[in-house]
Structure 1
């Protein structure tokens, strides 16, 4: 057993939370919403706060539509392609992300057309947005950052709609080329992710193991380290995420 010491305590379970206001922009198929994508290593959970909509998913279960309304709780595992569709302009979700730090470090891969996914430089160019932290509240249609965010979303929708058709006609095996391309795109980041995971997720679990060992022996040493932690918002202005406007918290500075 490792003696308990005062160490960095991350948000419960080594997770991260984000408040998401889903985009109300119409796409090529007439539906409003965000950019379809998947996560390569992390499970994502939704708690719907207000509004209504649908989560479209492509996974081992094929194509499925999941209704969203206040109080809905759902989560999905790595490899699940997901697209948020807003049926009302106020669709707002509390997002809980597994493996805090990994999604922020590029765990998500957008469903761009195959020609873009096949090139790391082309993908990086299509996925990047300039100067998000400098945006003012209240997006304007002529704001270059809004134009860039919508262009990125529309390119992801283009690839997604073709992929959805393939999954509906061929089954989940149609996802294999996307998965292979995604793995190559994130390969160079995986070593850094391992370090983050060891520190934040495995470290938290190991501390719990130490606490349980102490309690099993009738000791309460770790309880003397009790504390309350808070985190400030990362930016005073919501940023432009893949699926909508994001309010995040600075867990590094907690």
Structure 2
């Protein structure tokens, strides 16, 4: 490969000398965890699971915990300012706010969570098909603030119903059934997800590979393309699954 040349990665995506998004193709947002009390007296967010994205928390203020459920069992991880915690796909998680819990969230595969890479732990009857699921989880963008909050709280409480059943179940079958239902629910979206991944995290990794190849050949021309970017949130106070979000585009 000559100086300044491009090459192709599997799937035909061109490799560029630098990736314009956030490092590694991650997503970042600022989260203020909901302080809404649930029926069990605990304040916090909506239990859910990601299917292809690891998630990281950098706790910037307050304190609380994240409850997690995997095939290894149920755990509670305390969160306080300065804590960094992360988990892999398949981890059902519920954020608990014990006092002004604020987090910078790092999400693998920028764009996939926004494209639906999260399934709430709704009772099984709501996981039967995408339409039924969407009816109880979609927050109307054009609704009033009060209506959006109502829907966000209602879906949180519905997800807690399913979450408690999974947490209290004896044996592995209930969790395995949720995994099966979640995988079936998102299957129609996989083509779109793959395209987003190819434009994002895969392109970021491929760009690093190209830079290593060029440096090995004594070609450092990509260093002349260095750039600095900064941005303010593109949206403030969005009703997310775990709390109110300030969202960055990261591009």
Q: TM-score, normalised by structure 2?
A: 0.91
The RMSD of aligned alpha carbons is: 1.7
Name the structure 1 match of 2:82: 71
Deviates more, 1:63-72 or 1:112-121: 112-121
Aligned counterpart, 1:243: 242
The alpha-carbon distance between structure 1 residues 50 and 103, as it changes in their structure 2 partners (threshold 3 A), is same
- How many angstroms does 1:232 deviate by? 3.5
CA contact 1:55–1:82 (8 Å) conserved in 2: yes
Q: Give the Cα separation in 2 of the matches to 1:132 and 1:146.
A: 12
Q: What count of residue pairs does the alignment treat as equivalent?
A: 240
**What SS class does the counterpart of residue 200 from structure 2 fall into?**
helix
Give me the whole-angstrom Cα distance separating, in 2, the residues matched to 1:34 and 1:122. 21
Q: Which residue of 2 aligns with 1:81?
A: 92
Deviation at 1:60, TM superposition (A): 2.4
Match of residue 233 from structure 1 = 233
Unpaired segments of 5 or more residues in structure 2? 7-15
Q: Matches of 1:22 and 1:151 in 2, distance apart?
A: 16
CA contact (8 A) 2:60 2:81 kept: yes
Query: Mind listing any 5+ residue stretches in structure 1 that lack a counterpart?
Result: 136-142
Contact 1:102–1:196 (8 Å) recurs in 2: yes
- For residues 9-61 of structure 1, give each alpha carbon's deviation from its aligned partner in whole angstroms, at most 9, with x where no partner exists: 11101100010000001111110000000001100000111111111000122
Q: Deviations over 1:177-233 (max 9, x none)?
A: 111111111101111111111111111111111111111122211101111122331
Structure-1 residue corresponding to 2:22? 11
Moved over 6 A (4+): none
How much does 1:132 deviate? Answer: 6.5
Counterpart among 147, 151, 155 of residue 150 in structure 2:
147
Distance 2:198 2:248 in 1: 21
Report if the CA contact (8 A) 2:18-2:222 is conserved: no
Mapped to 2, the partners of 1:182 and 1:6 lie a distance apart of: 37
Q: Distance in 1 between matches of 2:212 and 2:27?
A: 24
1:246 shift after superposition: 0.3
Deviations 1:133-173 (A, max 9, x none): 974xxxxxxx222111110110011110111101xx32x44
Which residue number corresponds to residue 139 of structure 2?
129
Q: TM-score, normalised to structure 1's length?
A: 0.90
Residue aligning to 2:216: 216
In structure 1, the residue corresponding to 2:241 is in which secondary structure?
A: coil
Change (3 A) 1:193 1:133: farther
Instruction: Give the secondary-structure state (helix, strand or coil) at the position aligned to 1:229.
Output: coil
